[in-house]
Chain A
């Protein structure tokens, strides 16, 4: 009876309610499940990005040969303790093309979950490209390793891009280790405030946003930023956007 009751209640919350008891402690099944979730989250944090595979997928998108930019954090342990280094480039940056104008630079960054980028990075970009105005100049994609969001500001500026889009793995939670975030920054330059960015978070089908919806939301933010000449707290997604979903 209580099994049915808890099953009904769990339909209303993802919280781990009704776990039962072994004495005062959690039953073995709950301990195993928690351990497995934590393992997935930790593995996602420490899993190194498969740079070659991401680059191979990117090369098929027809926006140029991907460029790899490591941050100034040489390894994962440094990355986790020195967010300042993850925001700085650790190698030469790609130069701006002579012509034509670069409207959008795209950075695919491992962030705190390379798993998320591997699963959702290229699919989001693939869904986004057809939604952009045909005249939009997109720079060859950049794959950033041991990267924080603000590394994109350096890359966008070096490419002379009017906006930079950073697709980055979000901090893994216990029930979501593959969540991707998309950060759009108009007029990228080092030192820009986080309040000048727009974020689409929790891209993680089937539990979170699907790739198509995320791409439409990003495209909407980009056209809004172009009209406004700015991104950040003043820029809101178009009214009723989520109704299409």
Chain B
């Protein structure tokens, strides 16, 4: 269907919902690269008028990516809950914005949770394009998505962290030193998650044992993860290695997932395997997914109905449709990792981070954000401070914790252990309750939200530090 919108004496036309969604999107380099961005601000404004008037049902009747060629579309439609959709079934996209903001202002968290299964990613992506940053924050802050394994992530007033102790050669002592540094700064209640430099199963297995041993030694209430390909993790589960969370990168089209070497059947198999392990103490959610705008385009798997490029934010929301089907413990968007050809500068990264967090939360996901950038993007740590602060206000479930922001294996900058302490202090947030109780038991809490500054040798991890130091000196 063709849509037309008059604006300032000119008529703009759009060929179908794929073009309307793309041209209504805030300006970003990835959509320009894909050739689907609005050609000028007036065309973008006109597309938003068209989008605001689209009935939500349009997205159930017209595919953004054709169902016959894409299993993600089929999964999204199969999972749609018509009963949950009923309260908003008669609304347009613009009216959904008004409805969400009114519900959020009344603090009706359960209403938002109730409608989530009735919304599909394309509807949520569409409404986000009509929302200002404050709208994305206000609605996300009114949601609450709780997940449990050994800790509870997502409670209001809490901000959790993934302790990310990466090392360029997967050196055991180097990784251990980084984990202890992070624990000393109160990091790691969402997970202790290592990106291995090597995908070699023997290395991954060694790291699984290493982090499990540290977790047991200090009785840390958290869950571990080594972020390798899902098939490697499944093999290691069969070999009896201690796997808590199963990680996989996912995308919003069948082709994007193929680029990651993953199918929906593999995800289902992995979820079954984790349930059988039963390693969680207070819950059994064990899948960990990472996403990020631009992944489909970079895999050349971004085309939708009519062969038109789909905007990267809509495709990102569709990745959440994949995640939602497998009841994850954690989902995070690695928002600025992909580079300036997809998100050019701090402004685009901040906007994308807020969009991704909003879309994930409204769809009912335990959404965290890797607040990050690369050195060839027009962004710096000040931009990350801004995004961290606004995501904290929006109720982001967790962020990354990396020594001094510098990931020495992946070569990008994210949030530091210290950044989480800052965010918790200024926003009055605390770690996950189980982890908080553990810190309290070790005498490490400082007031309601802080962590005491302790000398490593005099800390609860003193022996571990000393052993590492002695081992290093003996080399």
Residues of A with Cβ closer than 8 Å to B? 1-2, 4-6, 8-9, 11-19, 21, 24-26, 30, 34, 37-38, 41-42, 44-45, 80-84, 112, 171-177
Contacts and interface: CB of A to CB of B under 8 A. Distances in A.
Contacts of A6: 456
A13 B413 contact: no
B178 A5 contact: no
Contacts of B346: none
A24 B421 contact: yes
B33 A81 contact: yes
Contacts of A5: 456-457, 465-466, 469
21 contacts: A2-B457, A5-B457, A5-B465, A9-B465, A12-B468, A13-B174, A15-B167, A15-B174, A15-B178, A26-B404, A34-B406, A42-B375, A45-B375, A81-B32, A81-B344, A83-B33, A84-B33, A112-B376, A171-B375, A173-B411, A174-B375
A13 B418 contact: no
A45 B473 CA distance: 38
A25 B422 contact: yes
A83 B168 CA distance: 27
A84 B32 CA distance: 12
Contacts of B408: 13-15, 173-175
Interface string B246-280: 00000000000000000000000000000000000
Interface string B370-414: 000011100011000000000000000000001111101001110
A14 B168 contact: yes
Contacts of B341: 80-83
Q: Which one of B381, B403, B404, B469 has the highest number of Cβ atoms from chain A below 10 Å of its Cβ?
A: B404
Contact of A80 (B165, B340, B413, B416): B340
A16 B473 contact: no
A89 to B, nearest CB: 19
A84 B297 CA distance: 12
A9 B344 CA distance: 37
A80 B375 CA distance: 11
A236 to B, nearest CB: 15
A17 B179 CA distance: 10
Interface in B433-460: 450, 453, 455-457
A37 B168 CA distance: 18
Q: Which one of B380, B411, B412 has the highest number of Cβ atoms from chain A below 10 Å of its Cβ?
A: B411
Nearest to A86: B341
A50 to B, nearest CB: 20
B173 interface: yes
A18 B376 contact: no
A174 B468 contact: no
Contacts of A41: 375
A17 B456 CA distance: 11
A19 B417 CA distance: 10
B176 to A, nearest CB: 8
A200 B340 CA distance: 25
A171 B341 CA distance: 13
Nearest to B472: A8
Contact of A17 (B29, B171, B178, B375): B178
A11 B380 CA distance: 28
A174 B406 contact: yes
Contacts of B374: 171
Contacts of B32: 81
A41 B418 CA distance: 23
Given A12-B173, A12-B472, A24-B425, 20 more contacts: A2-B457, A9-B465, A13-B167, A13-B173, A13-B175, A15-B406, A15-B408, A16-B403, A16-B406, A17-B404, A18-B181, A19-B404, A25-B418, A38-B381, A41-B375, A45-B376, A112-B376, A171-B411, A173-B375, A173-B411
A5 B168 CA distance: 21
A174 to B, nearest CB: 5
Contacts of A30: 404
Given A15-B174, A34-B406, A81-B340, A174 B455 contact: no
B82 interface: no
Q: Which 10 A-B pairs have the closest CB atoms?
A: A16-B404, A13-B174, A173-B411, A24-B421, A41-B375, A9-B177, A12-B174, A12-B173, A17-B181, A8-B469
B469 A9 contact: yes
